[in-house]
Structure 1
């Protein structure tokens, strides 16, 4: 029997839950997605863009490259459809990375600089778990922002993923096919 690390499962969960929440949000109009709110990232679309920015920042850390971000969000968030497309591509990329990393790779410590100053270190596994946790936190906030619109929202809970999606996904051989199964469910 193949054993999967928690980080490996959580990257798949993150991709699936991001996809579900993006689909839920896609039911809203552009006006509703970009309606200004008294929140940290100002809009539903802006909050999704923040999730994307953090995933882009940590990808640069994992690759040992520089990124161009000076904060945790863009001055002007990308349009929702661009964010949705890029976030799905990046989620697929994280699934592919996790599939190729051994336990030793996951335990490797990655040094980086925080966008607000200072240095940090995290293992690859901790970075993946951070990204999954970070996305979950903000998807919950997005769900709260969407609640007044009374749309037909699909659940994106970890327990639903583990019951309905993971048993299928873990039997598939390639990362690309696993990601396709995630978005097809």
Structure 2
């Protein structure tokens, strides 16, 4: 598997897992989604919002090499319906990006100043890896909360992704 295949497989996995996650989150209702559970971003809704915000930032870096300064307080979508719509649109944009025939972006290096204040020169491929890793990290926080509520998240194994494009 080359990096292009990795990107396509992970984009498919990401779309599948976000579909499962949002389906379960729809079942619990807005009050439960917004309940402060002591998570890093407070609530399930806050964490879903953070995921979308970071995906849009990283997608911007991948597409243009640039991103706006990070703001932890950014609310991308305050209502769940808009969040669902934007999540689906963003997952489609990620899949479209990795499926593009022009992969010259992979060889480019970008400078990024992290929250630690250190500026690093990084390959753009690393940002795609971070996008998927970040998704997995925060989805696991949400699935833990859903489990406490008695909801079974189900299978999360990458090789079992439906319609894996490899």
Q: TM-score, normalised by structure 2?
A: 0.82
Q: 1:92 to 1:121 in 2, by over 3 A?
A: farther
Spell out the pairing of 1:30-179 with structure 2 (5 A cutoff).
Answer: 30-62=30-62, 63-67=64-68, 69-74=69-74, 78-114=78-114, 117-161=117-161, 164-166=162-164, 170=165
Q: 1:85 to 1:27 in 2, by over 3 A?
A: same
Decide whether the 8 Å contact of 1:11 with 1:95 is kept in 2.
Answer: yes
| CA–CA separation in structure 1 for the residues paired with 2:51 and 2:76 | 14
Superposition RMSD in Å: 2.7
| CA–CA separation in structure 2 for the residues paired with 1:102 and 1:156 | 30
Deviations 1:11-62 (A, max 9, x none): 2211221122111211111100000121210000111111111111112223
Q: TM-score, normalised by structure 1?
A: 0.75
**1:151 CA displacement:** 2.8
Structure 2 spans left out of the alignment, 5+ residues: none
Decide whether the 8 Å contact of 2:49 with 2:75 is kept in 1.
Answer: no
